[in-house]
Copies of this chain bind each other. A is one copy, B any other.
């Protein structure tokens, strides 16, 4: 099932997407998703971020090649994390499919994409094991963890490197029927493929993260976990269009523009 969230005359509404038809549902994401009989076409609506998340978790350094390349950029020895220590991002930065990423006028010229799978928590969860960890996940979407590498390298925290307004595109929708092992992530810049990798080739898998996290914290419906990215990315320029495609989930497309240009 594909669950969309869209602007209905100023009110955010959820719907179930079948082909190109949206079937409106009553209530929110966790209110049963019952179709109310109204339909509309996908191309007639403005998509919103698929949910207003509660806690925004993000795994860092979670694919081997990305760790090696980030270390090389910093002139450091590559070091894979020894434990699944989760990180955080912030909701102010979220934008939807087809909205523009705005690079601040004062940002260095080192803004890059990070194409990621995003896990949406649907059930309250504490003390899960690797074996039942996925039971709390209601579905998956696609995220672009846009990063300003100079700020990321030099600042004490990742506040503006990762959480500048518009730096967290997410969407286009939530897909509930996913075979993680079958997924491939592909990123394209201006239509040209720049990287492709098996989505589930994590350093620490989703089950490992959730089992570790829920030893100390409770996951709640509406929380989400971004799972990190692979490889190295080019510096993006004004008007570049980035597509993050995870086959079986969807394609997230956003244009990058520089403020004031």
Contacts and interface: CB of A to CB of B under 8 A. Distances in A.
Contact of A85 (B55, B104, B156): B156
Contacts of A90: 55, 57, 88, 217
A91 B155 CA distance: 24
A213 interface: yes
A122 B174 CA distance: 32
Q: SS class of chain A's interface: helix, strand, loop or mixed?
A: loop
Contact of A104 (B57, B81, B86, B216): B216
Contacts of A83: 155-156
Interface in A210-252: 213, 215-220, 223
Contact of A160 (B60, B93, B164, B216): B216
Interface string A188-214: 000000000000000000000000010
A165 B218 contact: yes
A40 interface: no
A23 to B, nearest CB: 30
22 contacts: A55-B91, A55-B92, A60-B156, A82-B156, A83-B155, A83-B156, A85-B156, A88-B89, A88-B90, A88-B159, A92-B218, A92-B219, A92-B223, A93-B217, A104-B216, A106-B215, A126-B165, A159-B213, A159-B217, A163-B216, A165-B217, A165-B218
Given A55-B92, A60-B157, A104-B216, 5 more contacts: A82-B156, A86-B157, A88-B157, A92-B219, A92-B223
Interface of A: 54-55, 57, 60, 81-83, 85-93, 104, 106, 126, 155-157, 159-160, 163-165, 213, 215-220, 223
